[in-house]
Each structure stands twice: as C-alpha cells, then as structure tokens.
Structure 1
Amino acid sequence: MNLFGSCRIDPAKSLEMDAMTKATEILSALNDAAEGQSEVTLGHVNDQIGHRGTGALLAIPAALEITPIGGIPLVPSTLAFIVAIFAVQIAFGREDMWLPGFLERRNISAAKLTNAVDKLRPAAEWSDRHLGKHLHLLTDEPAPRIVAVAILVLCALVPPLELVPFASSIPMGVIVLFGLALVTRDGRVMALAWAASAIALWAVWKLWP
C-alpha cells in the first residue's frame, strides 16, 4: 500500500514553471478542483497546483490560513505541517513532491475552498498586474533552498501561536510572500519577505505570553 502521494517537479524546470504561472491561474486551478464537488481531498488540490512549481506549493496552503479557513481550530497547524513537508523536500532538492497518504486523503469543504479563493483573488489580480521578473539573484538557485529553511522556522512557530487569536497568520503571511516571490521570480518581493520574516520573529517574541 502506497503511503505517499507524489507530484513530480523537476528542480531544473521548477523556477521556469513558476515564472510562467500567474497567481490568478493558481486560484483558477483551485476553483477547478472544487467545481461540482461537496468536498475536495488535499491530494487533489496538490495535483492541481503542484505542477505549477514550488512557489505555489508553499504559497497556497499558507494563503488559505489567512482566509476564514484559518479560523478553524488546528487548521493553521495542519496547513503549516503541509508547508513544512514541502519545504523539507525543497531544501534537499527532492524531485518528487509528496504528501503522506493520511494528509492526501483529508477532505476540505469545496464551498469553503471556493470562498477562500474568492477572498484571495483581488490580491492575486494585483500581483499579476504589478509583479514580475526583477532582481533574479534573489530568486535563482540556491535561493529556494535557503528560503525553504527559513520557512521551516516559520512553520514551527504556528502551533504555539494558535493559542493567541490570529497570531498564527503572522508567520503564514510571511510564507505567502516567500512563495509569491518564487512564483513571480520577483526579487523585490523576496527582499520584502526576508524583511517581513525578521519583523515576524520580533512580533512573535512580543506576542508570546
């Protein structure tokens, strides 16, 4: 019995795919996954967005956390765990992106997914209009692997921050920026993400009881 579902991403082509993918196209893929369904498995969502590159795999679960879906208990930690699984694979240069079978089979309400996509669409449309290829040095190799390590640190902050209302959205918001930087290959966004990560760590230190 296969415990893992996989989505193959060639690292040599990953950034190229990210550069060709618009944020709105990723959201449209999520809508396609939910269309005509009452529930959607995480495995199906992974199949829909995984081939679009590593940035999408990092950004989408984190972005869902800052929508109403993130208000469901334990969902932020689950989404952070999913992001961490992808980040570990990216850090080690793995070609096959996978999720454990028990996560692949986990369901999410199609209506809630569609509602989350609608909430994210204005930001995605703004991204498509204003972001693009700039300062490639900050997004080209080995940047994705370095980013993956930083994301693992941010993911580790999410479970304890669930004790503070809305606080888990701080590290997840930074992860969205990192993922968006890889999707758009925009070094300006990457620089912003690194600055935001430093601010996030300071904010977490201030918020922690």
Structure 2
Amino acid sequence: MERILNRLDDCADQQSTVSVAGAMDEIGNRSFGPLILLPALLVITPIGGVPGVPTLFAIAILIFAVQVALGRDSLWLPRAIRNRSVENDSIHNATQKARPVASWLDDHTSERLTALTRRPAPRVAAVMVVLLCLTVPSTEILPFASLMPMSAIALLGLAITVRDGLLMALGLIAGAAGLIGGVWLLISY
C-alpha cells in the first residue's frame, strides 16, 4: 500500500495537477482493487445509511467489476471522470493522511497464497463483486444492511490491491454470505 502512495506522490511531484487517468496509470494493474475498495469503504461509514447512497456506489463499483470480469486489461472510465484533476498539494496531503493506514495494512497483510491472487482469481472476484453489487438495492430495505455485501466487496478489493490470497479466500467466503443475505432479504420482502 505504501508503494502505491509513493507512486502517487511521485506522480504529483512531476506535475502541478494529477488526473484520474494519470493516477490510474501510476497505480498500474492494481487499480481495480482500490477502485472497488474505496467506494465500498465509504458505504461502510455512516454515509451508507443515507437512502440511495449504497446503490449509487454499487453502480460505480459494478462498472469496474464488469470490465474485470470480462477480462479487460485496462479499465474504461468516462472521459469526464478520466480527465478530472486534483492539485498536487491535495495528492500529497491525502497520501500523508493515508500513510498510517497503509503502514498498518502493509504490516498485517502480505503476498501470501499468491495462487489465489493470480489469474483467473481477479476475474472470479470481479464476478463475486458484480453479484454482490446486484444485491445492494434489496439490502437498502433495512438501514445499514448493505454493510454485509459492501464489507465483502471491500475485503476483495483489499485482497486484490495487496495480493493477499488469504484475504481473497476470506473475501470470497464473506461474499457468499453476503449473497445469501441479500437474496434472503429480496425473497423476504
């Protein structure tokens, strides 16, 4: 995680603004992980209790997950999002604030059971993420019920980002539980 932050800092050192496309280029083939991790984490916060927010974030995650499930090597983003830029000072401030969390994650995760993070594992995880995203609208019946599928999505995003096979296995198990819970809510109501 700290290597990703270092890459973003280096990118910000080279230019006055950093576009979303430029940040994704710097992160490289790990960009899918953070693109599903970050929105899922936002839904896990109190903002996830606002009606409609979990579904909105699930749609955003779904756009990325479908592309990975289909085997795309690079992720497509609408031009309006790709070209959005942030001042380099904002990038530096954000990476500095994220460093303690990144350091903790680096200390508690590792590239273990890497067979579960190599192809086709990211595609399998992406299919699980797609299915979990499809359950989110039904979970909005109950406040914060979207925590279950979004927690599994966040775990899968983290596993892909840090290439931790143990987290991948746990994410897939949590995803299966989230699917069962989401389907049960859909059938029950």
Query: Same fold, TM exceeding 0.5?
Result: yes
The equivalent residue for 2:68 is 90
Q: Check the 8 A contact 2:138/2:185 in 1, yes or no.
A: no
Higher strand proportion (structure 1 or 2) = 1
Separation of aligned partners in 2, 1:126 and 1:59: 16
- Give TM-score, length-normalised by structure 2: 0.72
The equivalent residue for 1:130 is 108
Alignment: residue pair count: 169
Q: Check the 8 A contact 2:21/2:83 in 1, yes or no.
A: no
The equivalent residue for 1:18 is none
The 3-state SS of whatever aligns with 1:188 is: helix
Which of 118, 126, 129 pairs up with 1:148?
A: 126
5+ residue gaps, structure 2, are: 13-18, 85-92
The equivalent residue for 1:180 is 158
Residue 105 to residue 71, structure 1, CA distance change in 2 (3 Å): farther
**Aligned-CA RMSD value:** 3.5
2:186 maps to 1:204: no
Which of 141, 144, 149 pairs up with 1:166?
A: 144
Q: In the TM superposition, what whole-angstrom CA distance separates every residue of 1:81-120 from its partner, at most 9, and x where no partner exists?
A: 11111111112222332233577799xxxxxxx9xxx7x8
The equivalent residue for 1:3 is none
- Give TM-score, length-normalised by structure 1: 0.66
Between the two proteins, what is the percent identity of the paired residues?
43
The 3-state SS of whatever aligns with 1:98 is: coil
2:38 maps to 1:64: no
5+ residue gaps, structure 1, are: 1-21, 34-43, 107-113
Structure 1 letter corresponding to 2:169: A
Q: Check the 8 A contact 1:134/1:187 in 2, yes or no.
A: yes
